[in-house]
Amino acid sequence: QPVKIDPCDKQGMNEIQVRNNSLFLIGQMGKETRPQVSMKNVKQYLVVGRAKPSDADSEPKIYRMRVFAPNTVVAKSRFWALMRKQKKIKHSHGELVGIHEVHSPST
């Protein structure tokens, strides 16, 4: 059963529908969008990578980043996106040294 929301909503969504225990936001063009990943599914990863060794730089600098992602595939993708922006190293010219999930200490 659709629930109508205020048409002046900032996101421009017209209605919210619940089907099979999933929440769907129906927009003005009728397209369905799912909500973003909730914080319950996000894990912390420590991703280590570097540029591939070349003749000019036989031992490239190693970079370590703390990334929050739902799984290792997304963590790798976010690592290379940040490396591309910050250090100008693309995935095709780099290599991963390691990826580790950081577990919170038990209390």
Judged against a pLDDT cut of 90, whether residue 84 lies above it is answered with: yes
pTM over 0.85: no
Name the residue with tokens 């629930």.
Answer: 3
- Alpha carbon of 65 to those of 38, 56, 75, 96, 107: distances in Å? 22, 25, 10, 11, 25
Predicted local distance difference test score (pLDDT) of residue 10: 47
- What is the DSSP secondary structure assignment for residue 8, as one 8-state letter? T
Predicted local distance difference test score (pLDDT) of residue 42: 87
pLDDT in tens, 18-75: 555 555 555 555 455 555 555 667 899 999 999 999 999 999 999 999 999 999 999 9
What is residue 31's three-state secondary structure?
coil
Q: Which helix (H) or strand (E) holds 69?
A: strand 62-69
CA triple 6-12-13, angle to 5 deg: 70
When pLDDT is averaged across residues 2-18 and rounded to a whole number, the result is 50
